[in-house]
Chains A and B, each alone.
Chain A
């Protein structure tokens, strides 16, 4: 039995990719849960907001690269991120003014807002494709690895190698900073508290002199920021393709619901639950098993589900949670 090699294989193929993916989902789910808590509807356009934000960031990245500006070992996209966020914030504020505000003033049932968000989703979908095309774009530059397989082997003398991509490390670090900043904002600043107050009781927030339209605008700006950051990190880690961002909506919703909609802490936990389940279930465990039980020669790859079916995992988690703990792990509002 070779526990060390098994552990390294586990870290390399399951833990590190799932942690990075989980951080991306968590950031996406935070945006969804914020909109749900404050504007009272599930924003189906969130995936495409991520795609739009990433597309803008990529365009700015290309411009920076063309101008010869780079961040050394870090991806240039980080430098372009603020502009990407600004562009996305402008777009969502525009959609709010043009679409959602109308229904808000009418006091329309929130289910109508959900449907409106589906329309906005298709619109943003098209906008992103017009902007950057439908093809896959790779825009990660700078150093590729923090630790690469060969160095790791030479360093430790182990048979199994471990790679930590710059984008993976970056994803986790950025996610931690963003989550900390968001919680600090919501719990310590006046504007953040005003957002929570509005989400608790709209009328009373108004009676306290909190301008509801300001809260709504702030919420959209923060959601746009979270979406763009999540999208860029996902794009850096894998690749940018508009369709993938549409598909990622499902695991993001699964994450938000698993954690409990409306609860930011739940969104983070949910992101990691979904990511780890997805990776663990679609990973062929043969290698790890080989180290742990040298005598055992199983017939297959020990893969529970083909990677083509990874979205089924989100579905199953979603169904199980809604059946057995509909309010989510952290007491959200879903019933």
Chain B
């Protein structure tokens, strides 16, 4: 369904002087958070355990899917198209109705929190597309990233500019005018502005050139070395597994293989069916 169809339905006048064709948000912002429960003994830093669910009243996309990230590590979710990689990410972030399973972060059960409150609980999320505010300047984008913070954000902004020098150069420019790679850097920078305790990246290298992709991977590794755990969905499975401490191969919304990046790269079945030889 195109944006125009979403805005106008399938009939009638399509005059944008009556209706703003900008697509609406997909997340229900009016949903309230439920209570935060205690975590479980021996939990990893983040775990989405036994998650089953789908969008709205639609069919389940995830089936008993479990994803976990340990402190200071990089975990990647890989899998064929339509395997539910991004959906798993969204489920962990609370953008999906979970029918079963729970999400626990840093010793708390946050299953009932809405996405806004998960940001406050320390999750930073970078969506795959539409991950910047195009009409705002780079600096304003970063400021919006730090929206929930009440303290001085100058230090964090300087750190982001150190990590992505190009953003400092373009800080007065509208984000919509940036190139694809610069946009992704800005998107990651925006998420870092909250000083999250966990960073979630949904295909950060989608649609960028190979050179930019290598650079982005370098930056992501640099962020992880700084001690920030990272959960990442990635199309470029080989490269992702090379940097991953833990990798999850999803097939049709369920865990197919789990292990360290190296283990999975050496796993015959994974190579044959998925990495292409």
Contact = CB atoms under 8 A, between A and B. Distances in A.
B7 A109 contact: yes
Contacts of A326: 16
A153 interface: no
A55 interface: no
Interface in A208-252: 208-213
A160 interface: no
B136 A107 contact: no
Given A109-B7, A335-B16, A204 B131 contact: yes
Interface in A165-206: 190, 193-194, 196-197, 199-206
B194 A262 contact: no
Interface in A23-57: 36-37, 40-42
Nearest to A104: B30
B23 to A, nearest CB: 8
B26 A203 contact: yes
A207 interface: yes
B24 A190 contact: no
B99 interface: no
Interface residues of A, number: 42
B92 to A, nearest CB: 13
Contact of A206 (B116, B134, B143, B191): B116
B120 interface: yes
Contact of B127 (A111, A190, A204): A204
Contact of A211 (B116, B131, B136): B116
A18 to B, nearest CB: 24
A26 to B, nearest CB: 18
Interface in B244-258: none
B209 interface: no
Interface in B9-38: 9, 12, 15-22, 24-30
A210 B133 CA distance: 13
B20 A209 contact: no
A110 interface: yes
B144 A193 contact: yes
Interface in B25-78: 25-30
Nearest to B135: A200
A285 B131 CA distance: 56
Interface in B119-171: 119-120, 125, 127, 130-136, 140, 143-145, 147-148
B17 A334 contact: yes
A207 B19 contact: no
Interface in A315-335: 322, 326, 333-335
Contacts of A155: none
Given A200-B133, A203-B130, A206-B116, A211 B22 contact: no
B260 to A, nearest CB: 30
A101 B147 contact: no
A109 B136 CA distance: 26
A261 interface: yes
Contacts of A91: none
Contacts of B25: 202-203, 205-206, 212
B217 interface: no
Contacts of B19: 40-42, 109-111, 114
Given A107-B24, A209-B120, A210-B147, A204 B130 contact: yes
Given A107-B24, A109-B9, A204-B132, A194 B144 contact: yes
Most interface-central of B20, B131, B148 (chain A CB within 10 A): B20
Contacts of A36: 20
Contacts of B16: 261, 326, 333-335
A265 interface: no
B136 A193 contact: yes
Given A110-B7, A111-B12, A206 B147 contact: no
A207 B127 contact: yes
A98 interface: no
Given A109-B8, A200-B135, A209 B18 contact: no
A333 B17 CA distance: 8
B145 A208 contact: yes
A333 B20 contact: yes
B189 interface: no
A213 B29 CA distance: 7
A252 to B, nearest CB: 13
B249 to A, nearest CB: 26
Given A194-B144, A206-B115, A261 B30 contact: no
B190 A196 contact: no
Interface in A255-289: 257, 261-262
Nearest to B9: A109
B100 interface: no
7 contacts: A101-B30, A199-B22, A206-B116, A210-B144, A212-B29, A333-B21, A335-B16
Interface of B: 6-9, 12, 15-22, 24-30, 93, 115-116, 119-120, 125, 127, 130-136, 140, 143-145, 147-148, 190-191, 194
Given A200-B133, A203-B26, A205-B133, 7 more contacts: A41-B19, A204-B133, A207-B119, A208-B194, A261-B17, A333-B16, A335-B21
Interface of A: 36-37, 40-42, 101, 104-105, 107, 109-111, 114, 190, 193-194, 196-197, 199-213, 253, 257, 261-262, 322, 326, 333-335
CB-based closest 3 A-B pairs: A202-B25, A212-B29, A209-B148
